[in-house]
């Protein structure tokens, strides 16, 4: 038997594909649990339930725009957001992970990424997944970067300190989490159509939202491009089977590169786990210094938990909004438009 063609399972006692599914599903279940607890809190706040349930801060992870606004204000003033501090904490954690562990937040934590991964698996079984040619793929890929430029211009350029302070004190900002909940439990016709198009498109175009439309994925991709970790390919041992390209959620042409530095790399290790050649694909740093493969996923989860623990310990996780404010403004959430 050719020693270069060992089965991946023989080389990796850890099945990184299954590990990724386990980690992603764990975070998804936690998000669903937090969402349910937040729904209970919302029902109490609007007077539909006599049972008080504490508001789970983790739901602010679905407020990335609030996180970006809060990050700029924090950099300008050194003041941590007191209204949605968890949004800022999660946003900082995602950016730090991108710097040190590729787009690990997208590849190992983000629940939207996990759902996209499941949809892709179904589409593969149905054999309806389509890879667009480069002349179409690259223009589509530019959309999320254009959205990133738009939000960066709107928030980082147009909003100065006084504008951020004015926005933060608006009733809209106080109820933006409730409006996010209503987006899911009481969607408008426009919302239903938009979500339906996204879901249907995801069955034909791999990771449609993540790859083509998510501006925060674009931001983390830029940060990860500057980071130290990457996937190295041993050109001498590669047998050009291209299994790595078939499983790559970022549609990266791994088999054509000696070093994968693409901002589309999620650090998911799907390519490493699928490679049948011993040590052909490996996690490495600058100068091609090889690292243990398990370092990447463990680093992603560890760094995320460390940022959460520091924020929780220093009082930057729980909102400082009094409960009476929630009870006063949540019933009006459906009537409040963006200022």
Reported as a single tens digit per residue, the pLDDT across 107-164 is: 999 999 899 989 998 998 999 988 888 899 989 999 999 999 999 999 999 999 999 9
At 336 the pLDDT is 72
52: CB partners within 8 A, 6+ apart: 41, 44
DSSP β-bridge partners for residue 103:
101
Q: How many domains does the chain have?
A: 1
Distances in whole angstroms, Cα of residue 302 to Cα of each of 89, 100, 104, 291, 307: 15, 12, 11, 17, 9
Q: Does residue 102 surpass a pLDDT of 80?
A: yes
Dihedral angle at the C-alpha atoms of 159, 164, 169, 175, nearest 10 degrees?
70
Q: Does residue 321 surpass a pLDDT of 90?
A: yes
Query: Does 8 or 199 have the greater pLDDT score?
Result: 199
132 with 297: CB under 8 angstroms? no
At 334 the pLDDT is 84
pLDDT tens, residue by residue, 32-53: 999 999 999 999 999 999 999 9
Query: Does 324 or 333 have the greater pLDDT score?
Result: 324
Q: How far apart are CA 92 and CA 330, in angstroms?
A: 27
pLDDT tens, residue by residue, 14-31: 789 899 999 999 999 999
Confidence of residue 4 (pLDDT cuts 50, 70, 90): very low
Q: Does residue 243 surpass a pLDDT of 60?
A: yes
Q: How far apart are CA 161 and CA 79, in angstroms?
A: 11
Nearest Cα residue to 19 out of 121, 116, 112, 107: 107
Residue 173: give the domain boundaries: 3-335
Confidence of residue 63 (pLDDT cuts 50, 70, 90): very high
Nearest Cα residue to 181 out of 324, 44, 22: 44
DSSP of 239-287, one letter per residue?
A: ----HHHHH-TT---GGG-SEE--TT-----HHHHH--STTSEEEE-GG
pTM, rounded to two decimals: 0.91
| Helix, strand, coil % over all residues of the chain, rounded to 5 | 65, 5, 30
Confidence of residue 76 (pLDDT cuts 50, 70, 90): very high
Confidence of residue 339 (pLDDT cuts 50, 70, 90): low
pLDDT tens, residue by residue, 184-201: 999 889 999 999 999 999
At 169 the pLDDT is 86
Phi/psi for 281 (5° steps) reads -110, 125
């Amino acid at each position: 038997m050719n020693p270069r063609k060992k089965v991946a399972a023989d080389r990796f006692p850890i099945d990184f594909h299954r590990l990724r599914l386990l980690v992603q599903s764990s975070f998804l279940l936690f998000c669903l649990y937090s969402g349910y607890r937040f729904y209970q809190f919302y029902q109490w706040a609007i007077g539909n339930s006599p049972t008080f349930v504490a508001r789970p801060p983790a739901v602010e992870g679905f407020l990335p725009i609030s996180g970006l606004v809060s990050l700029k204000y924090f950099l300008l003033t050194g003041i941590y957001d007191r209204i949605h501090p968890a949004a800022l904490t999660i946003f900082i954690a995602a950016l730090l992970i991108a710097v040190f562990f590729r787009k690990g937040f997208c590849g190992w934590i983000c629940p939207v990424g996990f759902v996209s991964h499941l949809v892709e698996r179904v589409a593969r079984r149905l054999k309806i997944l389509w890879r667009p040619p480069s002349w179409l793929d690259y223009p589509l890929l530019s959309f999320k970067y254009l959205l990133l430029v738009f939000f960066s211009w709107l928030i980082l350029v147009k909003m100065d300190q006084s504008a951020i302070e004015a926005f933060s004190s608006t009733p809209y900002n106080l109820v933006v989490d409730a409006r996010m909940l209503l987006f899911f439990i009481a969607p408008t016709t426009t919302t239903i159509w938009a979500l339906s198009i996204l879901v249907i498109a995801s069955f034909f175009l791999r990771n449609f939202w993540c790859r083509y439309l998510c501006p925060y994925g674009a931001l983390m991709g830029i940060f990860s491009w500057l980071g130290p970790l990457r996937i190295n390919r041993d050109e001498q041992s590669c047998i050009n089977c291209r299994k790595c390209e078939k499983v790559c959620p970022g549609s990266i042409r791994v088999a054509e590169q000696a070093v994968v530095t693409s901002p589309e790399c999620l650090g998911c290790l799907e390519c490493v786990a699928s490679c049948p050649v011993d040590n052909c694909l490996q996690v490495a740093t600058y100068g091609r210094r090889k690292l243990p493969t398990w370092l990447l996923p463990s680093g992603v989860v560890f760094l995320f938990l460390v940022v959460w623990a520091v924020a929780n310990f220093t009082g930057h996780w729980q909102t400082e909004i009094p409960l009476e404010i929630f009870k006063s403004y949540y019933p009006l959430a459906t009537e409040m438009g963006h200022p």
